Every structure is written in structure tokens, then in C-alpha cells.
Amino acid sequence: MELKPYSGKAKRGASGVGKTDAGTTAPGFVNQNRQKTVARTGFRSGSFAGQIIYKMRCGDCGAEYGANGCDIHARRCPGCQGGVAGETLREAAPGLFG
């Protein structure tokens, strides 16, 4: 006989404390290393299952490269900040979004 419909695991909006994931994939986001999220390419990551590749641009040298969504918050420029090369950046096929 169970009278408890809920196991007591209530979501109260306390999640996310101390994390800075929210918003990193939104175009225009700039992380602590001045790396800017330009756009979502829609391509799947080749190194992280389930991740989508985002186009990033360095605020220092202007380099553009691909990054996994989960990496954006701490991304460093592969050109001038010693960051890893990251994902291959591919432009979306013409007409894909049109």
C-alpha cells in the first residue's frame, strides 16, 4: 500500500547553482576567454556523442572554429590562446535553413 505518489524529489529551481551552462549556446554569448558563440551549425560532434557543434569566434584574433556545446563556457582560442583545435567547422549546406 503506497500513499506516496511522489518520491519527494521536488524541483524547486535550486538546480544550476554554481553552474554557468545556461545561455552559453545562445548566439552572442561571450565566455571568460572572450570566445563568442556565433551560431549553432547543427552538425553533430565527432568526439562527443549527443553534442552539437557551434561556431565560435575569438574576440582577440578573430579566428573561427567549431566547439561542442558543452565546451563553450571554458573554450580557448586554438589560434592565440593555446586551446585545442576543436571540431571541424563546417558551414551549413545551402538551403538547409532556407
**Residue ranges that bind Zn ion, judged by CB under 5 A:** 58, 60-61, 63, 77, 79-80
Residue closer to Zn ion by CB (options 25, 35) is 35
Instruction: Kindly state the smallest distance separating residue 7's Cβ from Zn ion, in Å.
Output: 48
Q: Is the dihedral of CA 56, 61, 62, 63 positive or negative?
A: negative
Comparison of 63 and 74: residue with beta carbon closer to Zn ion: 63
> 33 and 75 in contact (C-beta within 8 Å)?
yes
Q: How many other β-carbons are positioned within 10 Å of the β-carbon of residue 75?
A: 25
CB of 91 to Zn ion, least distance (A): 20
Q: Which is nearer to Zn ion, 21 or 60 (CB)?
A: 60
Output the smallest distance, CB 43 to Zn ion, in A: 22
Which one, 42 or 62, has the nearer CB to Zn ion? Answer: 62
Give strand ranges (E) for the chain. 35-44, 52-58, 64-68
Residue 40, SS3 per DSSP = strand
Q: How far is the CB of 77 from Zn ion (least distance, A)?
A: 3
Phi, psi of 41 (to 5 degrees): -80, -25
